[in-house]
Protein backbone atom coordinates (compact mmCIF):
# COMPACT_ATOMS: atom_id res chain seq x y z
CA UNK A 1 0.00 0.00 0.00
CA UNK A 2 1.39 3.42 -0.86
CA UNK A 3 0.60 6.47 1.24
CA UNK A 4 -1.68 9.19 -0.06
CA UNK A 5 1.11 11.60 -0.89
CA UNK A 6 -1.24 14.55 -1.31
CA UNK A 7 -1.75 14.54 2.45
CA UNK A 8 1.89 14.91 3.40
CA UNK A 9 4.45 17.66 3.19
CA UNK A 10 6.31 17.68 -0.06
CA UNK A 11 9.73 19.23 -0.62
CA UNK A 12 9.79 22.15 -3.03
CA UNK A 13 13.51 21.78 -3.69
CA UNK A 14 15.15 18.46 -4.43
CA UNK A 15 18.91 18.19 -4.70
CA UNK A 16 18.82 15.30 -7.13
CA UNK A 17 20.84 12.12 -7.21
CA UNK A 18 24.26 12.32 -8.80
CA UNK A 19 26.31 9.20 -9.31
CA UNK A 20 28.88 8.11 -8.62
CA UNK A 21 29.01 9.60 -5.12
CA UNK A 22 28.77 13.24 -6.26
CA UNK A 23 25.58 13.53 -4.25
CA UNK A 24 27.23 11.97 -1.24
CA UNK A 25 25.78 11.92 2.29
CA UNK A 26 27.57 15.18 3.11
CA UNK A 27 25.84 17.13 0.36
CA UNK A 28 22.46 15.54 1.02
CA UNK A 29 22.73 16.28 4.74
CA UNK A 30 23.64 19.91 4.08
CA UNK A 31 20.59 20.40 1.85
CA UNK A 32 18.29 18.58 4.28
CA UNK A 33 19.50 20.91 7.03
CA UNK A 34 17.78 23.68 5.13
CA UNK A 35 14.55 21.69 5.19
CA UNK A 36 14.77 20.56 1.56
CA UNK A 37 15.27 17.12 0.11
CA UNK A 38 18.82 15.78 -0.12
CA UNK A 39 19.31 12.74 -2.31
CA UNK A 40 22.24 10.34 -2.04
CA UNK A 41 23.37 8.29 -4.99
CA UNK A 42 22.90 4.54 -4.66
CA UNK A 43 24.88 3.86 -7.84
CA UNK A 44 27.91 1.66 -7.14
CA UNK A 45 27.50 2.45 -3.45
CA UNK A 46 28.98 -0.92 -2.44
CA UNK A 47 32.14 -0.11 -4.38
CA UNK A 48 32.35 3.42 -3.03
CA UNK A 49 32.08 2.15 0.55
CA UNK A 50 34.72 -0.57 0.07
CA UNK A 51 37.08 2.01 -1.46
CA UNK A 52 36.45 4.60 1.26
CA UNK A 53 37.21 1.95 3.89
CA UNK A 54 40.45 1.03 2.18
CA UNK A 55 41.40 4.69 2.17
CA UNK A 56 41.19 4.52 5.98
CA UNK A 57 37.86 6.03 7.09
CA UNK A 58 40.00 8.69 8.76
CA UNK A 59 37.17 10.69 10.28
CA UNK A 60 35.47 7.52 11.57
CA UNK A 61 32.12 8.42 10.03
CA UNK A 62 31.67 5.04 8.37
CA UNK A 63 32.51 3.32 11.64
CA UNK A 64 29.80 5.33 13.39
CA UNK A 65 27.20 4.35 10.81
CA UNK A 66 28.30 0.70 10.91
CA UNK A 67 27.85 0.81 14.71
CA UNK A 68 24.24 1.84 14.16
CA UNK A 69 23.53 -1.11 11.81
CA UNK A 70 21.07 -3.52 13.42
CA UNK A 71 23.37 -6.57 12.94
CA UNK A 72 26.61 -5.65 14.80
CA UNK A 73 28.35 -8.93 14.04
CA UNK A 74 27.83 -8.39 10.28
CA UNK A 75 28.90 -4.76 10.53
CA UNK A 76 32.13 -5.65 12.34
CA UNK A 77 32.91 -8.42 9.90
CA UNK A 78 32.41 -6.26 6.80
CA UNK A 79 34.30 -3.36 8.34
CA UNK A 80 37.24 -5.61 9.13
CA UNK A 81 37.19 -7.12 5.66
CA UNK A 82 37.60 -3.76 3.90
CA UNK A 83 39.02 -1.28 6.38
CA UNK A 84 42.69 -0.42 6.06
CA UNK A 85 43.67 1.82 9.01
CA UNK A 86 46.88 2.89 7.22
CA UNK A 87 45.11 3.89 4.02
CA UNK A 88 46.38 3.00 0.56
CA UNK A 89 50.06 2.13 0.17
CA UNK A 90 50.11 3.74 -3.31
CA UNK A 91 47.46 5.83 -5.08
CA UNK A 92 44.87 3.62 -6.74
CA UNK A 93 46.12 0.34 -5.21
CA UNK A 94 42.76 -1.00 -4.11
CA UNK A 95 41.87 -4.64 -3.46
CA UNK A 96 39.90 -6.30 -6.25
CA UNK A 97 36.13 -6.14 -5.82
CA UNK A 98 33.61 -8.66 -7.14
CA UNK A 99 31.26 -7.42 -9.88
CA UNK A 100 27.54 -7.81 -9.59
CA UNK A 101 25.97 -10.83 -11.27
CA UNK A 102 22.79 -12.82 -10.77
CA UNK A 103 23.97 -14.67 -7.63
CA UNK A 104 26.59 -12.54 -5.87
CA UNK A 105 28.47 -13.96 -2.88
CA UNK A 106 26.95 -13.45 0.56
CA UNK A 107 29.69 -11.07 1.75
CA UNK A 108 29.06 -8.85 -1.26
CA UNK A 109 25.33 -8.69 -0.61
CA UNK A 110 26.10 -7.79 2.99
CA UNK A 111 28.51 -5.07 1.88
CA UNK A 112 25.87 -3.64 -0.45
CA UNK A 113 23.14 -3.56 2.18
CA UNK A 114 25.34 -1.92 4.81
CA UNK A 115 26.82 0.50 2.26
CA UNK A 116 23.38 1.83 1.31
CA UNK A 117 22.38 1.88 4.98
CA UNK A 118 25.51 3.90 5.84
CA UNK A 119 25.06 6.50 3.12
CA UNK A 120 21.43 7.12 4.04
CA UNK A 121 22.01 6.94 7.81
CA UNK A 122 24.77 9.56 7.66
CA UNK A 123 22.68 11.82 5.41
CA UNK A 124 19.73 11.58 7.77
CA UNK A 125 21.60 12.63 10.90
CA UNK A 126 20.57 16.15 11.94
CA UNK A 127 18.02 16.21 9.19
CA UNK A 128 15.18 18.66 8.94
CA UNK A 129 14.17 17.79 5.40
CA UNK A 130 13.68 14.35 3.86
CA UNK A 131 16.43 12.15 2.41
CA UNK A 132 16.07 10.19 -0.81
CA UNK A 133 18.18 7.64 -2.62
CA UNK A 134 18.65 7.66 -6.39
CA UNK A 135 18.96 4.48 -8.43
CA UNK A 136 19.18 3.77 -12.13
CA UNK A 137 16.77 1.20 -13.52
CA UNK A 138 19.39 0.26 -16.12
CA UNK A 139 21.71 -1.03 -13.37
CA UNK A 140 19.62 -3.95 -12.17
CA UNK A 141 21.80 -6.48 -10.37
CA UNK A 142 22.46 -4.54 -7.11
CA UNK A 143 19.04 -2.84 -6.91
CA UNK A 144 17.30 -5.00 -4.30
CA UNK A 145 20.12 -5.09 -1.70
CA UNK A 146 20.72 -1.34 -2.17
CA UNK A 147 17.03 -0.66 -1.65
CA UNK A 148 16.92 -2.87 1.43
CA UNK A 149 19.90 -1.12 3.03
CA UNK A 150 18.34 2.28 2.35
CA UNK A 151 15.01 1.12 3.83
CA UNK A 152 16.76 -0.10 6.98
CA UNK A 153 18.15 3.41 7.43
CA UNK A 154 14.65 4.90 7.04
CA UNK A 155 15.06 6.52 3.63
CA UNK A 156 12.12 8.84 2.91
CA UNK A 157 12.08 8.73 -0.92
CA UNK A 158 13.35 6.43 -3.64
CA UNK A 159 13.97 8.15 -6.98
CA UNK A 160 14.61 6.06 -10.05
CA UNK A 161 15.18 6.83 -13.71
CA UNK A 162 17.18 5.58 -16.71
CA UNK A 163 14.58 3.00 -17.63
CA UNK A 164 11.03 1.98 -16.81
CA UNK A 165 10.93 1.18 -13.11
CA UNK A 166 7.59 -0.61 -13.13
CA UNK A 167 8.49 -3.37 -10.71
CA UNK A 168 10.21 -1.31 -8.04
CA UNK A 169 7.21 -0.06 -6.02
CA UNK A 170 6.04 -3.66 -5.52
CA UNK A 171 9.50 -4.75 -4.44
CA UNK A 172 9.68 -1.86 -2.00
CA UNK A 173 6.48 -3.15 -0.40
CA UNK A 174 7.97 -6.65 -0.11
CA UNK A 175 11.28 -5.46 1.26
CA UNK A 176 9.53 -3.32 3.88
CA UNK A 177 7.97 -6.58 5.10
CA UNK A 178 11.43 -8.29 4.95
CA UNK A 179 10.08 -10.65 2.29
CA UNK A 180 12.26 -12.19 -0.36
CA UNK A 181 11.68 -11.05 -3.92
CA UNK A 182 13.13 -11.27 -7.42
CA UNK A 183 13.90 -8.52 -9.87
CA UNK A 184 13.45 -9.20 -13.57
CA UNK A 185 16.78 -8.86 -15.36
CA UNK A 186 16.63 -7.75 -19.00
CA UNK A 187 18.85 -9.87 -21.23
CA UNK A 188 20.22 -8.48 -24.54
CA UNK A 189 18.28 -11.05 -26.64
CA UNK A 190 14.96 -9.77 -25.25
CA UNK A 191 14.54 -12.61 -22.74
CA UNK A 192 14.53 -12.13 -18.96
CA UNK A 193 16.06 -13.79 -15.94
CA UNK A 194 15.40 -13.43 -12.21
CA UNK A 195 17.71 -11.81 -9.69
CA UNK A 196 16.58 -13.06 -6.30
CA UNK A 197 17.20 -11.33 -2.99
CA UNK A 198 16.28 -12.66 0.43
CA UNK A 199 16.50 -10.01 3.19
CA UNK A 200 16.79 -12.82 5.74
CA UNK A 201 20.42 -13.34 4.71
CA UNK A 202 21.16 -10.12 6.61
CA UNK A 203 20.09 -11.88 9.80
CA UNK A 204 17.71 -9.33 11.26
CA UNK A 205 14.52 -9.80 13.16
CA UNK A 206 12.77 -6.48 12.76
CA UNK A 207 9.20 -5.26 12.55
CA UNK A 208 7.98 -4.02 9.13
CA UNK A 209 9.73 -0.91 7.87
CA UNK A 210 8.13 2.37 6.82
CA UNK A 211 7.41 2.50 3.07
CA UNK A 212 9.14 5.51 1.45
CA UNK A 213 7.62 7.46 -1.42
CA UNK A 214 8.59 6.38 -4.91
CA UNK A 215 9.34 9.01 -7.54
CA UNK A 216 9.97 7.97 -11.14
CA UNK A 217 12.32 10.14 -13.20
CA UNK A 218 10.87 10.52 -16.67
CA UNK A 219 11.48 12.59 -19.78
CA UNK A 220 8.19 12.00 -21.57
CA UNK A 221 4.55 12.32 -20.56
CA UNK A 222 3.87 9.01 -22.32
CA UNK A 223 6.14 7.21 -19.88
CA UNK A 224 4.57 9.09 -16.96
CA UNK A 225 1.13 7.93 -18.10
CA UNK A 226 2.25 4.31 -18.45
CA UNK A 227 3.86 4.33 -15.00
CA UNK A 228 0.85 5.99 -13.39
CA UNK A 229 -1.30 3.19 -14.84
CA UNK A 230 0.96 0.45 -13.52
CA UNK A 231 0.58 1.80 -9.95
CA UNK A 232 2.80 2.35 -6.93
CA UNK A 233 4.38 5.54 -8.28
CA UNK A 234 3.88 8.47 -5.90
CA UNK A 235 5.15 11.24 -8.17
CA UNK A 236 7.44 12.20 -11.04
CA UNK A 237 10.64 14.08 -11.66
CA UNK A 238 10.23 15.46 -15.17
CA UNK A 239 13.73 15.79 -16.54
CA UNK A 240 14.59 17.91 -19.58
CA UNK A 241 17.54 17.46 -21.93
CA UNK A 242 19.62 20.21 -20.26
CA UNK A 243 20.09 17.87 -17.26
CA UNK A 244 23.42 16.24 -16.43
CA UNK A 245 24.15 12.53 -16.59
CA UNK A 246 22.46 10.36 -19.22
CA UNK A 247 19.67 11.96 -21.27
CA UNK A 248 16.74 10.46 -23.09
CA UNK A 249 17.54 10.57 -26.84
CA UNK A 250 15.78 13.17 -28.99
CA UNK A 251 12.95 12.01 -31.22
CA UNK A 252 14.06 10.36 -34.43
CA UNK A 253 17.65 10.04 -33.18
CA UNK A 254 19.76 7.16 -34.32
CA UNK A 255 22.12 5.78 -31.71
CA UNK A 256 24.53 5.00 -34.60
CA UNK A 257 25.02 8.70 -35.17
CA UNK A 258 28.21 10.35 -33.97
CA UNK A 259 26.71 13.82 -34.00
CA UNK A 260 25.83 15.68 -30.86
CA UNK A 261 22.09 15.04 -30.39
CA UNK A 262 19.91 18.06 -31.18
CA UNK A 263 16.74 18.53 -29.16
CA UNK A 264 13.69 20.44 -30.33
CA UNK A 265 10.29 21.46 -28.94
CA UNK A 266 8.87 18.00 -29.72
CA UNK A 267 11.21 16.56 -27.10
CA UNK A 268 9.65 18.58 -24.30
CA UNK A 269 7.19 16.58 -22.26
CA UNK A 270 3.61 17.86 -22.20
CA UNK A 271 3.39 19.14 -18.62
CA UNK A 272 -0.35 19.55 -18.78
CA UNK A 273 -0.73 15.84 -19.42
CA UNK A 274 1.63 15.07 -16.55
CA UNK A 275 -0.37 17.40 -14.30
CA UNK A 276 -3.62 15.67 -15.22
CA UNK A 277 -2.30 12.41 -13.80
CA UNK A 278 -2.96 13.96 -10.40
CA UNK A 279 0.42 13.05 -8.94
CA UNK A 280 2.92 15.56 -7.61
CA UNK A 281 5.79 16.35 -9.96
CA UNK A 282 9.02 18.34 -9.97
CA UNK A 283 10.88 19.84 -12.93
CA UNK A 284 14.57 19.03 -13.47
CA UNK A 285 17.16 20.32 -15.93
CA UNK A 286 18.48 23.89 -15.83
CA UNK A 287 16.06 24.90 -13.05
CA UNK A 288 18.88 27.01 -11.74
CA UNK A 289 17.63 30.58 -11.56
CA UNK A 290 15.61 32.61 -9.13
CA UNK A 291 12.41 32.46 -11.22
CA UNK A 292 12.60 28.69 -11.76
CA UNK A 293 10.46 27.68 -8.79
CA UNK A 294 7.77 30.20 -9.59
CA UNK A 295 7.64 29.09 -13.24
CA UNK A 296 7.59 25.40 -12.32
CA UNK A 297 4.75 25.92 -9.88
CA UNK A 298 2.83 27.92 -12.48
CA UNK A 299 3.05 24.82 -14.68
CA UNK A 300 1.55 22.73 -11.90
CA UNK A 301 4.76 21.32 -10.41
CA UNK A 302 5.34 21.10 -6.66
CA UNK A 303 8.88 22.31 -7.10
CA UNK A 304 12.22 21.80 -8.81
CA UNK A 305 15.14 19.39 -8.79
CA UNK A 306 18.58 20.94 -9.13
CA UNK A 307 21.90 19.22 -9.60
CA UNK A 308 24.69 20.77 -11.63
CA UNK A 309 24.88 23.80 -9.33
CA UNK A 310 25.29 21.41 -6.37
CA UNK A 311 27.74 19.14 -8.21
CA UNK A 312 30.40 21.87 -8.31
CA UNK A 313 29.82 23.35 -4.83
CA UNK A 314 32.18 22.74 -1.93
CA UNK A 315 29.79 20.23 -0.29
CA UNK A 316 29.78 17.95 -3.33
CA UNK A 317 31.38 14.49 -3.30
CA UNK A 318 33.58 15.35 -6.29
CA UNK A 319 37.33 15.02 -5.71
CA UNK A 320 38.38 18.33 -4.15
CA UNK A 321 41.20 19.31 -6.51
CA UNK A 322 39.30 18.22 -9.59
CA UNK A 323 36.24 20.19 -8.51
CA UNK A 324 38.31 23.36 -8.02
CA UNK A 325 39.93 22.87 -11.42
CA UNK A 326 36.57 22.29 -13.12
CA UNK A 327 34.96 25.24 -11.36
CA UNK A 328 37.78 27.54 -12.27
CA UNK A 329 37.68 26.41 -15.93
CA UNK A 330 33.90 26.95 -15.95
CA UNK A 331 34.33 30.45 -14.47
CA UNK A 332 37.03 31.26 -17.06
CA UNK A 333 34.93 29.88 -19.88
CA UNK A 334 37.56 27.32 -20.87
CA UNK A 335 35.37 24.26 -20.60
CA UNK A 336 31.93 23.34 -21.87
CA UNK A 337 29.43 20.54 -21.60
CA UNK A 338 29.06 18.22 -24.57
CA UNK A 339 26.12 15.88 -25.11
CA UNK A 340 28.01 12.86 -26.35
CA UNK A 341 26.21 10.62 -28.76
CA UNK A 342 28.28 7.49 -28.36
CA UNK A 343 30.59 7.82 -25.35
CA UNK A 344 28.49 5.84 -22.89
CA UNK A 345 28.18 2.08 -23.35
CA UNK A 346 24.50 2.35 -22.42
CA UNK A 347 23.75 3.76 -25.90
CA UNK A 348 22.11 6.85 -24.36
CA UNK A 349 23.39 10.40 -24.89
CA UNK A 350 25.65 11.33 -21.99
CA UNK A 351 26.69 14.82 -20.95
CA UNK A 352 30.39 15.28 -20.21
CA UNK A 353 32.64 18.21 -19.42
CA UNK A 354 35.45 18.59 -21.95
CA UNK A 355 37.89 19.59 -19.20
CA UNK A 356 41.60 19.21 -19.95
CA UNK A 357 43.30 16.21 -18.38
CA UNK A 358 40.06 14.37 -17.87
CA UNK A 359 38.60 11.56 -19.95
CA UNK A 360 35.98 14.03 -21.24
CA UNK A 361 38.74 16.28 -22.58
CA UNK A 362 40.04 13.63 -24.99
CA UNK A 363 38.92 13.75 -28.60
CA UNK A 364 36.71 10.79 -29.66
CA UNK A 365 39.59 9.05 -31.45
CA UNK A 366 41.63 9.03 -28.24
CA UNK A 367 38.86 7.79 -26.00
CA UNK A 368 39.99 5.06 -23.75
CA UNK A 369 38.45 1.66 -23.34
CA UNK A 370 39.57 -0.18 -20.26
CA UNK A 371 39.82 -3.51 -18.61
CA UNK A 372 36.44 -3.47 -16.87
CA UNK A 373 37.02 -3.27 -13.12
CA UNK A 374 33.65 -2.09 -11.83
CA UNK A 375 31.21 -3.53 -14.36
CA UNK A 376 28.30 -1.32 -13.28
CA UNK A 377 27.10 -0.63 -16.83
CA UNK A 378 27.54 -4.15 -18.17
CA UNK A 379 24.53 -5.69 -19.82
CA UNK A 380 23.43 -9.29 -19.52
CA UNK A 381 23.62 -11.58 -22.55
CA UNK A 382 22.68 -15.21 -23.07
CA UNK A 383 25.61 -17.58 -23.59
CA UNK A 384 25.34 -20.60 -25.91
CA UNK A 385 24.76 -22.92 -22.96
CA UNK A 386 21.81 -20.76 -21.88
CA UNK A 387 23.55 -19.23 -18.86
CA UNK A 388 23.96 -15.47 -18.35
CA UNK A 389 27.15 -13.61 -19.23
CA UNK A 390 27.98 -9.91 -18.90
CA UNK A 391 29.55 -7.55 -21.42
CA UNK A 392 30.15 -3.84 -21.88
CA UNK A 393 30.71 -2.01 -25.16
CA UNK A 394 33.43 0.01 -23.41
CA UNK A 395 35.53 -2.92 -22.30
CA UNK A 396 38.51 -4.13 -24.36
CA UNK A 397 37.39 -4.77 -27.94
CA UNK A 398 38.62 -8.34 -28.08
CA UNK A 399 36.84 -9.21 -24.82
CA UNK A 400 33.56 -7.70 -26.01
CA UNK A 401 33.71 -9.47 -29.38
CA UNK A 402 34.58 -12.82 -27.77
CA UNK A 403 31.39 -12.47 -25.77
CA UNK A 404 29.37 -12.13 -28.97
CA UNK A 405 29.09 -8.33 -28.87
CA UNK A 406 28.56 -6.61 -32.23
CA UNK A 407 31.44 -4.69 -33.72
CA UNK A 408 29.30 -1.65 -34.52
CA UNK A 409 28.58 -1.24 -30.83
CA UNK A 410 32.23 -0.48 -30.09
CA UNK A 411 32.67 2.76 -32.04
CA UNK A 412 33.70 5.73 -29.87
CA UNK A 413 32.69 4.12 -26.57
CA UNK A 414 34.71 4.96 -23.51
CA UNK A 415 34.88 3.55 -20.00
CA UNK A 416 32.40 5.46 -17.88
CA UNK A 417 32.53 3.56 -14.56
CA UNK A 418 36.28 3.92 -14.00
CA UNK A 419 36.09 7.62 -14.89
CA UNK A 420 33.15 8.36 -12.60
CA UNK A 421 34.77 6.60 -9.65
CA UNK A 422 37.95 8.60 -10.31
CA UNK A 423 35.86 11.79 -10.29
CA UNK A 424 34.60 10.85 -6.84
CA UNK A 425 38.23 10.60 -5.67
CA UNK A 426 38.71 6.85 -6.09
CA UNK A 427 40.86 6.40 -9.22
CA UNK A 428 42.29 2.94 -9.79
CA UNK A 429 45.92 2.31 -10.65
CA UNK A 430 46.48 1.33 -14.28
CA UNK A 431 48.75 -1.49 -15.47
CA UNK A 432 50.82 0.94 -17.53
CA UNK A 433 51.39 3.18 -14.49
CA UNK A 434 49.51 6.17 -13.10
CA UNK A 435 45.83 6.20 -12.23
CA UNK A 436 42.59 6.37 -14.21
CA UNK A 437 41.56 9.79 -15.51
CA UNK A 438 38.34 11.26 -14.12
CA UNK A 439 35.25 11.73 -16.28
CA UNK A 440 32.91 14.54 -15.23
CA UNK A 441 29.27 14.58 -16.14
CA UNK A 442 27.48 17.91 -15.89
CA UNK A 443 24.33 19.68 -16.95
CA UNK A 444 24.41 22.14 -19.82
CA UNK A 445 24.75 25.35 -17.78
CA UNK A 446 28.08 26.28 -16.23
CA UNK A 447 27.48 29.92 -15.20
CA UNK A 448 28.48 29.40 -11.61
CA UNK A 449 29.66 32.98 -10.94
CA UNK A 450 26.14 33.71 -9.75
CA UNK A 451 26.63 31.38 -6.80
CA UNK A 452 30.04 32.52 -5.53
CA UNK A 453 29.85 33.32 -1.81
CA UNK A 454 33.52 32.76 -1.07
CA UNK A 455 36.53 33.75 -3.12
CA UNK A 456 36.16 31.70 -6.32
CA UNK A 457 33.98 29.16 -4.56
CA UNK A 458 30.51 28.54 -3.14
CA UNK A 459 28.70 26.04 -0.97
CA UNK A 460 25.27 24.36 -1.10
CA UNK A 461 23.71 27.16 0.99
CA UNK A 462 24.68 29.67 -1.70
CA UNK A 463 22.77 27.67 -4.32
CA UNK A 464 19.65 27.53 -2.17
CA UNK A 465 19.94 31.26 -1.38
CA UNK A 466 20.29 32.21 -5.03
CA UNK A 467 17.31 30.10 -6.01
CA UNK A 468 15.41 32.18 -3.49
CA UNK A 469 13.79 29.15 -1.95
CA UNK A 470 12.39 29.56 1.55
CA UNK A 471 13.00 27.07 4.31
CA UNK A 472 11.17 23.79 3.52
CA UNK A 473 9.41 21.43 3.64
CA UNK A 474 6.27 23.14 2.41
CA UNK A 475 2.88 21.55 2.47
CA UNK A 476 0.91 21.48 -0.75
CA UNK A 477 -2.78 22.08 -0.56
C1 LIG B 1 27.20 15.12 -11.85
C2 LIG B 1 25.83 14.59 -12.18
C3 LIG B 1 25.55 13.24 -11.99
C4 LIG B 1 24.27 12.76 -12.24
N5 LIG B 1 24.00 11.45 -11.97
C6 LIG B 1 22.73 10.99 -12.04
C7 LIG B 1 22.40 9.69 -11.58
O8 LIG B 1 23.26 8.92 -11.12
N9 LIG B 1 21.10 9.30 -11.65
C10 LIG B 1 20.11 10.13 -12.13
O11 LIG B 1 18.94 9.74 -12.14
N12 LIG B 1 20.40 11.37 -12.58
C13 LIG B 1 21.68 11.81 -12.51
N14 LIG B 1 21.97 13.11 -12.90
C15 LIG B 1 20.84 13.97 -13.32
C16 LIG B 1 20.30 14.74 -12.12
O17 LIG B 1 19.79 13.89 -11.13
C18 LIG B 1 19.25 15.82 -12.42
O19 LIG B 1 18.02 15.34 -12.80
C20 LIG B 1 19.65 16.83 -13.40
O21 LIG B 1 21.00 16.95 -13.53
C22 LIG B 1 19.02 18.17 -13.03
O23 LIG B 1 19.40 19.15 -13.95
P24 LIG B 1 20.58 20.19 -13.71
O25 LIG B 1 21.83 19.41 -13.58
O26 LIG B 1 20.50 21.03 -14.94
O27 LIG B 1 20.27 20.94 -12.45
C28 LIG B 1 23.25 13.62 -12.70
C29 LIG B 1 23.55 14.98 -12.90
C30 LIG B 1 24.81 15.46 -12.64
C31 LIG B 1 25.09 16.92 -12.86
The DSSP annotation for 85-101 comes to TT--SSTT-PPP-PPP-
pLDDT recorded at residue 207: 96
CA of 195 to the centre of ligand 1 (A): 27
CA of 18 to the centre of ligand 1 (A): 5
CA of 311 to the centre of ligand 1 (A): 9
CA distance 296 to 281: 10
CA of 316 to the centre of ligand 1 (A): 13
pLDDT recorded at residue 244: 87
pLDDT recorded at residue 145: 98
pLDDT recorded at residue 476: 39
Write the CA distances from 268 to 155, 249, 260, integer angstroms.
31, 12, 18
pLDDT recorded at residue 2: 40
pLDDT recorded at residue 262: 86
pTM of the model: 0.96
| pLDDT averaged over every residue in the chain | 92
List helix spans (H) across 183-290. Answer: 221-230, 271-275
**What phi, psi does 457 have (nearest 5°)?**
-155, 170
pLDDT recorded at residue 3: 43
For a substitution probing ligand 1, which of 13, 134, 244 has the most ligand atoms within 8 Å of its CB? 244
What spatial distance separates the first Cα and last Cα of the chain, rounded to whole Å?
22
Which of ligand 1's atoms lies nearest the C-alpha of 162? 11
| Number of helices and strands in the chain (H, E) | 15, 16
For 150-162, write each residue's pLDDT tens digit: 999 999 999 998 7
pLDDT recorded at residue 332: 96
CA of 179 to the centre of ligand 1 (A): 32
pLDDT band at 473 (very low <50, low <70, confident <90, very high): low
Which of ligand 1's atoms lies nearest the C-alpha of 20? 8
Residues with CB under 6 A from ligand 1: 16-19, 22, 41, 43, 134, 136, 161-162, 217, 239, 242-245, 284-286, 288, 305-308, 311, 441-443
Percent of the chain with pLDDT over 90: 79
CB under 8 Å to 334, separation ≥6 — which residues?
356
For 333-352, write each residue's pLDDT tens digit: 999 999 998 889 998 999 99
Give the containing element (helix H, strand E) for 160: strand 157-161
pLDDT band at 263 (very low <50, low <70, confident <90, very high): confident
Cα torsion through 107, 109, 111, 114, rounded to 10: -130
For a substitution probing ligand 1, which of 243, 281, 439 has the most ligand atoms within 8 Å of its CB? 243
CA of 403 to the centre of ligand 1 (A): 32
Q: Which residue has the higher pLDDT, 196 or 469?
A: 196
What angle separates helix 45-54 from helix 61-68, to the nearest 10 degrees?
120
CA distance 438 to 423: 5
CA of 424 to the centre of ligand 1 (A): 14
Count of beta carbons in the 10 Å neighbourhood of residue 468: 12
CA distance 33 to 19: 21
Amino acid sequence: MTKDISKIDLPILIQGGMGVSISSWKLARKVARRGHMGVVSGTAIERVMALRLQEGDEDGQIRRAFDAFPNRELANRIYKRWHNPDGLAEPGQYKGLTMYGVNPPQHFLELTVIAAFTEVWLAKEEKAGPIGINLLEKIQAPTLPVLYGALLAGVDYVLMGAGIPREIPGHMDQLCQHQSCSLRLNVDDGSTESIPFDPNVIGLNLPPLARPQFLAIISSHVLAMALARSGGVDGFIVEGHMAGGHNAPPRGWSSDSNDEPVYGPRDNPDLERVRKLGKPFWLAGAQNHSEALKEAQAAGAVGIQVDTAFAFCSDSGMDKNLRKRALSAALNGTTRTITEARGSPTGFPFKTLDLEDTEGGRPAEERKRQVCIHGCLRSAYRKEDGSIGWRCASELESTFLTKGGEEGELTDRRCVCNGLLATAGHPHAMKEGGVELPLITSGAYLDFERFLNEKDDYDADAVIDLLGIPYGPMAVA
